């Protein structure tokens, strides 16, 4: 094939678009343009369709629809819980318990990790951050360790299931991983990592910095702008979430279809207008997925991705090797964010990708704790903390993120290298 043939020219144009899109993933946008990651991915998809003459039907087929449907459905479930005031209420109640500083840290980390395994970790951080910040100030505790613990616990806990975060949904859908088998494999690394996070924040360097702890019940009076607690709507949302977990664990029904039915049940409401629920759906995230699916499909058609993997194999780096996948997953997740990193690595996990898929899900999620910009959940906590007058910058996050990330990745390595 001539370097200047129309086909080769189109290939290089696709490579240029691909590189630009992933530069946008790294930077969070493109310089001098008011584009976020979703905008970059969408424009990239439009560009490769136009440059290659890709039929729209082929572009549509490149999108993993079950992943998009599952994401949408659980955004609706999370919206129901948020509108019902569940997240705020449960955080208030935990904050009012007569616990020591270490005990309160343990309770909040366990709660954030557990809720994130079922609902979106980003939503958990959105709802819990203002409450955690204010209850710490009321109790005379330094809020920084609690807020970092919230962000890290939400990330770690979300790795426990195939519905805890977007990258896990993608991995589970594309590789068709069994829900129960994944939970069984991920439970121990997640639980150990949460315990290590708690130990570092409770007893690590600087743990005692701040005001004294209290051991008596505290009347936590946190005024929130969100919805008041609604027992019926919360119970309705919890019933649907519980039913879906049962379906995922004990039946062979398609997870995306079951989740869509659950979302439909919640949308049938006399209390919450469907427009209010839809307002909490993260449409830009869905567009990000769709755009990246199309861009990655076009790049895959050039054959360069396969050549790169073959070159790595010739150098002794095999993606089927746990060590190589752990390092590449960690590096890419911090360079371009975890969802784009997973999309790049998924097609190259070998003939038996199930164990590699579990490893990739854990690594790409745990790696998000390394840097403040490594996870949207981290940034949400930092932004909302700033509104409460609390400065959570990258240096403060790194003091916890660095040791906790390496400890959790070490746990994954020990578990999967046996």
The Cα 14–Cα 37 span in angstroms is 18
Q: How confident is the model at residue 393 (pLDDT cuts 50, 70, 90)?
A: confident
Please, how many CA atoms are within 13 Å of residue 49, restricted to the half-sphere of its CB?
Answer: 19
The Cα 251–Cα 256 span in angstroms is 13
- The ranges assigned to domains in the chain are 6-416
List of residues 6+ apart from 38 with CB closer than 8 A: 284, 285, 287, 288, 291
Q: How confident is the model at residue 245 (pLDDT cuts 50, 70, 90)?
A: very high
pLDDT, averaged across the chain: 88
Q: Summarize the confidence of residues 262-284 as an average pLDDT.
A: 90
pLDDT at 139: 84
pLDDT at 207: 61
Q: Which of 94, 165, 166 is nearest to 128 (CA)?
A: 94
Q: Which of 92, 103, 93, 90 is nearest to 198 (CA)?
A: 103
Q: Summarize the confidence of residues 229-241 as an average pLDDT.
A: 92
pLDDT at 214: 37
Cβ atoms 400, 201 nearer than 8 A: yes
pLDDT at 225: 43
Given a cut of 70, whether residue 220 has pLDDT beyond it is no
Tell how far CA 216 is from the center of its chain: 36
- Helix 121-138 to helix 376-387 angle (10° resolution) is 30
Higher-pLDDT residue of 10, 208: 10
DSSP string, 9-32: HHHHHHHHHHHHHHHHHHHTS-TT
Q: Summarize the confidence of residues 316-340 as an average pLDDT.
A: 87
Residue pLDDT, tens place only, 375-384 = 888 988 998 8
Cβ atoms 367, 334 nearer than 8 A: yes
Given a cut of 70, whether residue 294 has pLDDT beyond it is yes
Q: How confident is the model at residue 7 (pLDDT cuts 50, 70, 90)?
A: low
Given a cut of 80, whether residue 208 has pLDDT beyond it is no
Q: How confident is the model at residue 206 (pLDDT cuts 50, 70, 90)?
A: low
The Cα 168–Cα 208 span in angstroms is 36
Q: Which residue has the tokens 């594309």?
A: 174
pLDDT at 311: 87
List of residues 6+ apart from 62 with CB closer than 8 A: 293, 294, 296, 297
Q: Summarize the confidence of residues 270-283 as an average pLDDT.
A: 89
Cβ atoms 140, 211 nearer than 8 A: yes
List of residues 6+ apart from 387 with CB closer than 8 A: 130
Q: Report pTM.
A: 0.87
Q: 3-state class of 321 per DSSP? A: coil
| 23 token code pair | 């530069």
Per-residue b/e over 36-65, b at no fewer than 16 CB within 10 Å? Answer: ebbbbbbbbbebbbebbebeeeebeebbbe
pLDDT at 212: 41
The Cα 101–Cα 253 span in angstroms is 44
Higher-pLDDT residue of 191, 355: 191
Q: Summarize the confidence of residues 108-131 as an average pLDDT.
A: 92
| 14 token code pair | 């696709």
Most distant CA atoms of the chain, gap in Å? 78
The Cα 300–Cα 25 span in angstroms is 18
| 221 token code pair | 């009076």
């Amino acid at each position: 094939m001539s370097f200047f043939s129309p086909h080769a020219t189109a290939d290089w144009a696709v490579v240029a678009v691909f590189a630009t899109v992933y530069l946008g993933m790294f930077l969070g946008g493109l310089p001098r343009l008011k584009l976020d990651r979703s905008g970059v991915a969408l424009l990239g998809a439009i560009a490769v369709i136009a440059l290659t003459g890709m039929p729209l039907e082929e572009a549509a087929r490149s999108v993993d629809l079950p992943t998009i449907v599952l994401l949408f459905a659980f955004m609706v479930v999370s919206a129901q819980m948020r509108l019902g005031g569940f997240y705020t209420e449960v955080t208030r109640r935990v904050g009012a318990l007569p616990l020591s500083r270490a005990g309160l840290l343990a309770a909040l980390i366990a709660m954030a990790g557990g809720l994130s395994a079922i609902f979106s970790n980003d939503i958990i951080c959105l709802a819990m951050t203002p409450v955690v910040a204010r209850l710490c100030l009321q109790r005379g505790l330094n809020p920084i360790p609690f807020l970092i613990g919230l962000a890290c616990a939400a990330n770690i806990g979300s790795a426990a299931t195939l519905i805890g975060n977007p990258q896990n949904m993608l991995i589970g859908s594309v590789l068709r991983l069994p829900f129960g088998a994944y939970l069984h494999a991920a439970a121990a690394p997640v639980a150990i990592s949460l315990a290590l996070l708690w130990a570092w924040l409770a007893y690590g360097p600087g743990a005692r910095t701040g005001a004294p702890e209290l051991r008596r019940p505290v009347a936590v009076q946190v005024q929130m702008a969100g919805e008041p607690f609604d027992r019926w709507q919360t119970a309705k949302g919890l019933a649907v979430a519980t039913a879906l977990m049962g379906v995922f664990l004990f039946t062979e029904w398609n997870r995306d279809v079951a989740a869509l039915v659950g979302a439909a049940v919640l949308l049938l409401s006399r209390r919450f207008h469907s427009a209010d629920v839809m307002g909490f759906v993260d449409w830009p995230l869905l567009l990000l997925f769709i755009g990246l699916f199309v861009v990655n499909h076009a790049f895959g058609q050039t054959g360069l991705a396969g050549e790169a993997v073959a070159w790595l194999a010739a150098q002794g780096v095999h993606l089927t090797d746990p060590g190589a996948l752990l390092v590449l997953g960690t590096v890419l997740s911090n360079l371009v964010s975890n969802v784009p990193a997973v999309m790049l690595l998924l097609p190259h996990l070998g003939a038996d990708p199930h164990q590699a898929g579990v490893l990739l899900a854990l690594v790409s999620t745990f790696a998000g704790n390394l840097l403040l910009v490594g996870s949207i959940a981290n940034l949400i906590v930092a932004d909302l903390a700033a509104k409460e007058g609390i400065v959570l910058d990258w240096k403060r996050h790194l003091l916890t993120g660095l040791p906790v990330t390496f400890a959790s990745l070490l746990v994954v390595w020990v578990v999967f290298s046996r």
